[in-house]
Amino acid sequence: PIVEAEDKTVIAARVGYSLMDLGPALFQVTAAYQPKVETDLKPNGVLVPTKLGNEYWAVGAMFNFKALVAFGAGVDYRFEKITLTNLYSSSSTYSRPWARVNAGYAFPTPLVKPFIGLEVAVPLTEKDLGPKLQLGVYGGIRF
């Protein structure tokens, strides 16, 4: 049987700290957390409604290149938890690396720098029922 998960919009948080200013680029370490979200599975031939839950926390590193439209590239090491719920519930926890790229704009204000951007992340290893792509719109403040 073929099992597909529906796409889901989620909210996650990421913090970063610049360790080194290398002139045109910043080297940063990051930490992220996505709370558990559930989506319906669309199993072929299975009559029992099933939910797929996903949550993760991650640590990572990246280079952010300073420009009018800044861009960055880096890796996360994510600790992911997958939960299947139908007549009973089961979960599995695993870890895997993800590659991330982003592009964004920081508004030139005097004290803090509000920013907006887009991000794409892909896992570097496959996992059954694990997320296969992440597209993000983000915003925040740099101090």
Question: For residue range 69-124, what is the model confidence (pLDDT) as tens digits?
Answer: 999 999 999 999 999 998 889 999 999 999 999 999 999 898 898 999 999 999 99
Per mean pLDDT, which range of 51-55, 80-84, 126-130 is the poorest?
A: 126-130
Q: How confident is the model at residue 45 (pLDDT cuts 50, 70, 90)?
A: low
Its pTM stands at 0.89
Q: How confident is the model at residue 128 (pLDDT cuts 50, 70, 90)?
A: confident
Q: Using alpha carbons, select from 81, 76, 93 the residue that is nearest to residue 35.
A: 81
Average pLDDT estimate for 44-61: 86
Torsion of the alpha carbons at 16, 20, 21 and 25, rounded to the nearest 10: -70
Q: In which residue are the tokens 């590193």 written?
A: 61
Type of residue found at 69: V
Q: Using alpha carbons, select from 70, 79, 78, 92 the residue that is nearest to residue 122.
A: 78
d(CA 71, CA 101): 7
Residue 23: other Cβ atoms inside 10 A = 7
Q: Which two tokens stand for residue 20?
A: 């080194």
Residue 52: other Cβ atoms inside 10 A = 20
- Asked whether residue 2 carries a pLDDT value surpassing 70, the answer given is no
Q: How confident is the model at residue 46 (pLDDT cuts 50, 70, 90)?
A: low
Contact by Cβ (8 Å): 74, 61 = yes
